[in-house]
């Protein structure tokens, strides 16, 4: 693959992945069966402030980037795009998609939302333009504290879910199914969407960014 073609594919994967992430999150909202851990917090803050979930997601992402400074994390194009694109895509999808009224529709939206989220995660991480704000927070805390990725991730997710639930966010079966399935789904789609290098070899995300997948 030529260098321009290689870059074009990576950029396409980045922005398609981030857009689909916002779409998938909105579908989980409309299912009413539970949200990803971070979106439990975003929904709770939205309920309290009157701001849309997309705007809250963007503001929280920007605030988290400020925490990168003492952690000495460096943002990339994917990091900044993550903050700007996901929230906008989420709000647009929420504006176009009504709440599910039947159990069959709710379950279908939940299932599609979770699988689409896994595909979106694989797309944007495999593009290799830098981690999202919440991913970077976790890997930064892992490096600074010496605690394992698993322990840091668990601590963060429990904190945001508990806080979001208290604020009015939706926790349900979708939250649990997301927690147990997003890792395997993201791992699968990371390999499906692996970007060949300019020289022709296939590159799959490795290291902390692959192991530290964290819902937005």
Give the model's pLDDT for residue 53.
97
Contacts of 35 (CB under 8 A, 6+ apart): 25, 28, 29, 43, 169, 170, 171, 174, 175, 178
Give yes or no for residue 210 having a pLDDT over 60: no
Give the residues across from 196 on adjacent strands. Answer: 202
Give the model's pLDDT for residue 66.
92
Nearest-angstrom CA–CA distance, 43 and 133? 18
Cα separation values, 198 from 89, 147, 166, 205, Å: 30, 36, 49, 15
Per-residue pLDDT, averaged over 185-203, amounts to 78
Per-residue pLDDT, averaged over 192-203, amounts to 70
Give the model's pLDDT for residue 202.
54
Give the model confidence (pLDDT) of 43-93 as tens digits. Answer: 999 999 999 999 999 999 999 999 998 888 889 999 999 999 999 999 999
Cα separation values, 57 from 33, 90, 143, Å: 19, 9, 25
Per-residue pLDDT, averaged over 171-190, amounts to 92
Higher per-residue pLDDT: 205 or 154: 154
Confidence of residue 172 (pLDDT cuts 50, 70, 90): very high
Give yes or no for residue 32 having a pLDDT over 90: yes
Give the model's pLDDT for residue 196.
79
User: In terms of pTM, does the model score above 0.75?
Assistant: yes
Nearest-angstrom CA–CA distance, 163 and 171? 11
């Amino acid at each position: 693959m030529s260098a321009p073609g290689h870059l074009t594919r990576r950029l396409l994967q980045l922005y398609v992945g981030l857009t689909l992430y916002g779409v998938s999150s909105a579908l989980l909202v409309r299912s009413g069966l539970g949200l990803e851990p971070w979106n439990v917090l975003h929904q709770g803050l939205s309920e309290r402030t009157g701001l849309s979930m997309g705007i809250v997601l963007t503001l929280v992402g920007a605030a988290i980037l400020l925490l990168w400074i003492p952690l000495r994390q460096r943002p990339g194009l994917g990091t900044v795009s993550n903050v700007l694109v996901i929230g906008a895509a989420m709000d647009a999808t929420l504006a176009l998609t009504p709440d599910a009224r039947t159990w069959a529709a709710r379950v279908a939206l939940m299932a599609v939302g979770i699988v689409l989220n896994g595909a979106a995660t694989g797309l944007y991480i495999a593009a290799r333009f830098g981690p999202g704000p919440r991913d970077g927070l976790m890997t930064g805390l892992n490096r600074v504290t010496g605690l394992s990725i698993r322990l840091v991730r668990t601590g963060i997710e429990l904190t945001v879910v508990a806080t979001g639930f208290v604020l009015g966010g939706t926790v349900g079966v979708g939250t649990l199914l997301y927690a147990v399935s997003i890792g395997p789904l993201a791992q699968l789609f990371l390999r499906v969407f692996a970007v060949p290098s300019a020289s022709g070899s296939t590159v799959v995300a490795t290291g902390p960014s692959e192991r530290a997948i964290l819902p937005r």
